[in-house]
Structure 1
């Protein structure tokens, strides 16, 4: 049974989320709050597996909460649920430790899929975000090979080097070399930054881990 905490300051939205999540017999809501100051303690006390987190809670910003909670509980999954579709915010949230980023205007079916994927260890970003324009500097992307982009997308979606090797019929050493090369070309330091970059280019939507 997966334990879920709801952190959303609008009671009607919490009610709707609760009803939606009860359609899954293998999930249980173990806590909920609309106060940002209470979230970390609820996650701690309930030993939650997943936190469904609004970014704009009174008392504490969601990105700060995500960073704090991941520092205390690296194993807990955090799925952001927000109306903020700015790519800069998406990147910041994922770099802070969020495992997924879901827009509130998406339908309930996508939310259930997002929760399932995040709980399985994959990362998730709302489909609509891949359609947003990107005006930032793309220096370095021209030197990234097609294979490196493919590996970048798989890393961002939660695949390990061994799983990527199996999927692409490559050796693990070859996969690791491609990862090192693309991270060097794009000045990426860790998986969170790889994920953020992939989100920016829509690559994190290309191949989600089942």
Structure 2
């Protein structure tokens, strides 16, 4: 029987998912939580085969959590279950190590289909994303310019907007505009997520003073 960990911060949704999964005899919910800080421990304790993961759990970054699960329990499959139809978010989740990206408005049968595919080693993305006017290419990254990559790397290395402006000989306002555009384009919310993205994109990330 395949063991599934439910990581969803809305209790009523967790209850609904448990009832839905109970209709399938070859799956069981081995643990559940609404706290992002408990997910990895539950995955390790139950030797979970699959995690149904909401990206907006309190206590941690969704992308960081995917990377932690992938590093600590590489055999566990990760199916993101989210309301976010943002293509950049989906790309980042898949790049971080998710095996599937499913939207919460899908039907129960589609959830069964997604779980079956992911457990079989086949990557899954919701049809709504694939069939939209901006089709999602699994594994693809949002397009950013050479200058944006340079700024991204500097942010990841701990430089402030003022530092970057001096280093690139441009105004602070210009750097702030680039920074906001980058965060929006890549759906990043803080420096930790910027650093994780920079590492995945092959940019040099090191402590200041090591240049």
Q: TM-score range by the shorter chain?
A: 0.5 to 0.7
Match of 1:10 in 2: 10
Larger Rg: 2
Match of 2:87 in 1: 87
Quote the offset at 1:58 in angstroms: 0.5
Quote the offset at 1:133 in angstroms: 2.9
Match of 2:49 in 1: 49
Match of 2:130 in 1: 130
- Structure 2 residue 12 is the aligned partner of structure 1 residue 39: no
- Structure 2 residue 59 is the aligned partner of structure 1 residue 59: yes
Matched residue of 1:79: which SS? strand
Instruction: Output the TM-score relative to the length of structure 1.
Output: 0.64
Describe the superposition over 1:161-188 as per-residue Cα deviations: whole angstroms up to 9, x where unpaired.
xxxxxxxxxxxxxxxxxxxxxxxxxxxx
Quote the offset at 1:73 in angstroms: 1.2
Once the two structures are superposed, the pairs formed by residues 139-178 of structure 1 within 5 Å of their partners are: none
Matched residue of 2:29: which SS? strand
| Greater relative contact order (Cα < 8 A, sep 6+) | 1
Matched residue of 1:122: which SS? coil
Distance 2:111 2:50 in 1: 13
Quote the offset at 1:19 in angstroms: 0.4
Deviating runs (4+, > 4 A) in structure 1? none
Quote the offset at 1:132 in angstroms: 2.6
Describe the superposition over 1:126-169 as per-residue Cα deviations: whole angstroms up to 9, x where unpaired.
000013333965xxxxxxxxxxxxxxxxxxxxxxxxxxxxxxxx
Matched residue of 1:18: which SS? helix
User: What are structure 1's unaligned runs of at least 5 residues?
Assistant: 138-191, 194-210
User: What are structure 2's unaligned runs of at least 5 residues?
Assistant: 136-141, 144-199, 202-211
Quote the offset at 1:77 in angstroms: 0.1
Distance 1:66 1:52 in 2: 11
Instruction: Output the TM-score relative to the length of structure 2.
Output: 0.63
